[in-house]
């Protein structure tokens, strides 16, 4: 299995001003979204700076809409995707982002703090879905000592699974965490905690894999050519 999928992703194209603009309109908000999302989830910031929390949430909503819509354009109109089936997973991810962000905003307006927190965390997980996909894939490669269920057209069984699991699995864990908080059963709380620990471990392995196989080689090339 080749590690080079660059031919399947459409980047900058000379003369395609509209497509290039939409590409940047997708990448820049995506980077800002992750940062804004982290700030929204810090309790100290919410308590000490409520006005900032509200405006940062509105910015998160706006950027989430922009990122989702531009992502759909790049996937289905510009054709920047690995496979059609995998693109369906990414599309559902993109459609869920504005829904989750809207629900988080709506419940905040109504003063329903618990529901607001739930959908705010879901929004954060959805926004980072594509990033999580990369981490899961790298973690999968390391655990299996190579691809297993993957292929060069990115439509193998493992590829398809992670195209949906990259956001559905984190959302499931979020729901289990909120559920466990309401339980008086220690065993259930411990079970959910173990699941969170496993998820954290897989993510950590994915970060190591992404750093080793995706980022460092490109950084080395840039340093050599500098």
Provide mean pLDDT across the span 40-46: 88
pLDDT band at 9, cuts 50/70/90?
low
pLDDT tens figures, 140-186? 989 888 888 888 777 788 989 999 999 999 999 999 999 988 887 78
Tell whether the model's pLDDT for residue 62 goes beyond 70.
Answer: yes
Provide mean pLDDT across the span 126-132: 89
Instruction: Enumerate residues 6+ apart whose C-beta is below 8 A from 148.
Output: 140, 158
pLDDT of residue 3: 45
Tell whether the model's pLDDT for residue 55 goes beyond 80.
Answer: yes
For residue 57, CA distances in Å to 31, 118, 125, 131, 175 come to 15, 14, 15, 21, 21
Mean pLDDT for the chain? Answer: 84
Lowest mean pLDDT among 18-22, 91-95, 109-113, 134-138: 18-22
pLDDT of residue 226: 63
**Is residue 212 within a helix (H) or strand (E), and if so which, with residue range?**
none
Please tell me the distance from the alpha carbon of residue 55 to that of residue 53, in angstroms, as a whole number.
6
Residue with tokens 């490109």: 218
pLDDT tens figures, 76-93? 887 776 677 778 888 999
Give pTM, 2 decimals: 0.83
pLDDT band at 10, cuts 50/70/90?
low
pLDDT tens figures, 133-153? 989 988 898 988 888 888 877
């Amino acid at each position: 299995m080749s590690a080079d999928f660059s031919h399947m992703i459409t980047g900058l194209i000379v003369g395609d001003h509209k497509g290039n603009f939409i590409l940047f309109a997708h990448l820049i908000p995506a980077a800002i979204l992750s940062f804004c999302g982290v700030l929204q989830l810090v309790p100290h910031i919410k308590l000490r700076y409520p006005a900032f929390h509200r405006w940062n949430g509105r910015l998160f909503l706006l950027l989430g809409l922009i990122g989702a819509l531009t992502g759909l354009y790049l996937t289905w109109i510009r054709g920047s995707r690995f496979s059609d089936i995998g693109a369906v997973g990414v599309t559902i991810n993109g459609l869920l982002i504005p829904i989750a962000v809207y629900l988080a905003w709506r419940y905040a307006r109504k003063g329903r703090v618990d529901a607001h927190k739930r959908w705010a965390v879901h929004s954060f997980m959805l926004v980072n879905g594509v990033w999580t996909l990369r981490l899961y894939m790298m973690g999968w490669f390391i655990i299996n000592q190579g691809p297993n269920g993957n292929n060069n057209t990115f439509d193998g069984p493992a590829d398809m699974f992670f195209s949906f699991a990259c956001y559905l699995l984190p959302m499931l864990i979020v729901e289990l965490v909120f559920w466990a908080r309401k339980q008086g059963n220690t065993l259930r709380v411990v079970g959910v905690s173990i699941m969170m620990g496993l998820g954290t471990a897989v993510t950590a392995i994915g970060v190591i894999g992404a750093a080793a196989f995706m980022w460092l080689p490109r950084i080395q090339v840039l340093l050599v050519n500098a």
